[in-house]
C-alpha cells in the first residue's frame, strides 16, 4: 500500500512504436509525480553499463533473439519495488507478451497495486508518415519531427547544436515490419488486459499530444472516483 493507506497505482501505456507513449509518459510523470519506467531504457542502460544483464541482452540481440520474459519480469519486479514507486508508477513498453501480462497482473494483486491500461491506437499509414519525418540528436537523444516539431535551426538540435540524424529503425520498410510484428505479438496481450484491468483506448492518429493527455487524465480521474 502507498503511504496514507491509498493503494498504489500502475498506469500501463500501450501502443505501437511511434504512437507517442514516451511523450505521454513525460506529461503524466510531470502531473502525477510517478516515475516513468521504460523497459527499453532499462535494457539500454544495462547494455551501456556492461553489467551481467547488459552482456546477456547484447549477446541475445546480436544473435537476433528476444530477451526472455523471465529476465524482463525480474527487472520490472526489482524496479517497481523501489521507494520512488510507493505511490505509483508508469509502465512503458511492458508487458509485451501474454506471459508477461499474466505475470505482472499477478504481481499487482500480490502488492495491492491498482492498474489502469491506456492503449494508444494509431493508423499504420499515419504512423509511417510520422516516423519517417522523425529526427534525433545523437548526443542528447532529443526527438524532433520535421513537420510537427521541427528544430529552431534546420537539421540542428536546439540544445546541443549537433546535426540531427535519421534512426535506422525510422525507415519505412523497417517501420512497417515493426508495426506488423507489434500487432501480431500484442493483440493477445491487449485482449487479456482489456478483460482483466480497467482499460481505455484512445485514438491517437490525429489528436495532439495535449489532447491525448487530457483524455487520459479524465479517464484516470474517473477511475479513481469509481
CB 69 within 8 A of CB 97: yes
Instruction: Name the residue among 115, 121, 116 with its Cα closest to residue 202.
Output: 121
Is residue 178 part of the annotated active site? The answer reads yes
Which 8-state DSSP code applies to residue 32?
Answer: H
Residue 202 forms beta bridges with which residues? 120
**Is 134 assigned a catalytic role?**
yes
The C-alpha cell of 172 is what?
A: 519505412
Tell me whether residue 96 is one of the annotated catalytic residues. yes
Beta-carbon count within 10 A of 205 CB: 14
Length of the chain: 226
Catalytic residue among 134, 195, 221, 226: 134
96, 149, 176, 195: the catalytic one is: 96
Nearest to 178 by CA among 17, 13, 14: 17
| Residue 83, SS3 per DSSP | helix
Out of 48, 77, 82, 167, pick the active-site residue. 167
Q: Which of 8, 9, 21, 135 is catalytic?
A: 21
φ, ψ of residue 115 to 5 degrees: the values are -90, 150
CA dist 217 and 122 (Å) reads 19
Angle between helices 39-49 and 69-80 (to 10 degrees): 100
Residue 95 to residue 76: CA distance in whole angstroms? 10
Annotated active-site residue in 58, 79, 87, 178: 178
End-to-end CA distance of the chain: 19
Q: Which sequence positions are flagged as catalytic?
A: 21, 96, 134, 167, 178
Amino acid at each position: 500500500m502507498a503511504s496514507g493507506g491509498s493503494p498504489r497505482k500502475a498506469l500501463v501505456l500501450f501502443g505501437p512504436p511511434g504512437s507517442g507513449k514516451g511523450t505521454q509518459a513525460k506529461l503524466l510523470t510531470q502531473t502525477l509525480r510517478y516515475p516513468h519506467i521504460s523497459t527499453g531504457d532499462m535494457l539500454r542502460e544495462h547494455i551501456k553499463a556492461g553489467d551481467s544483464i547488459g552482456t546477456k541482452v547484447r549477446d541475445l540481440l546480436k544473435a537476433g533473439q528476444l530477451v526472455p520474459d523471465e529476465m524482463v519480469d525480474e527487472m520490472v519486479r526489482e524496479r517497481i519495488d523501489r521507494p520512488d514507486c510507493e505511490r505509483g508508477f508508469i509502465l512503458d513498453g511492458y508487458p509485451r507478451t501474454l506471459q508477461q501480462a499474466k505475470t505482472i497482473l499477478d504481481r499487482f494483486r500480490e502488492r495491492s497495486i491498482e492498474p489502469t491500461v491506456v492503449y494508444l491506437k494509431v493508423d499504420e499509414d499515419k504512423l509511417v508518415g510520422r516516423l519517417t519525418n522523425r529526427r534525433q540528436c545523437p548526443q542528447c537523444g532529443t526527438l524532433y519531427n520535421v513537420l510537427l516539431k521541427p528544430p529552431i535551426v534546420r537539421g540542428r538540435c536546439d540544445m546541443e547544436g549537433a546535426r540531427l540524424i535519421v534512426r535506422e529503425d525510422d525507415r519505412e520498410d523497417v517501420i512497417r515490419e515493426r508495426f506488423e510484428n507489434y500487432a501480431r505479438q500484442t493483440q493477445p496481450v491487449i485482449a487479456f488486459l482489456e478483460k482483466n484491468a480497467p482499460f481505455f483506448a484512445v485514438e491517437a492518429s490525429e489528436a495532439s499530444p495535449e489532447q491525448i493527455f487530457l483524455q487520459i487524465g479524465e479517464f484516470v480521474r474517473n477511475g479513481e472516483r469509481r
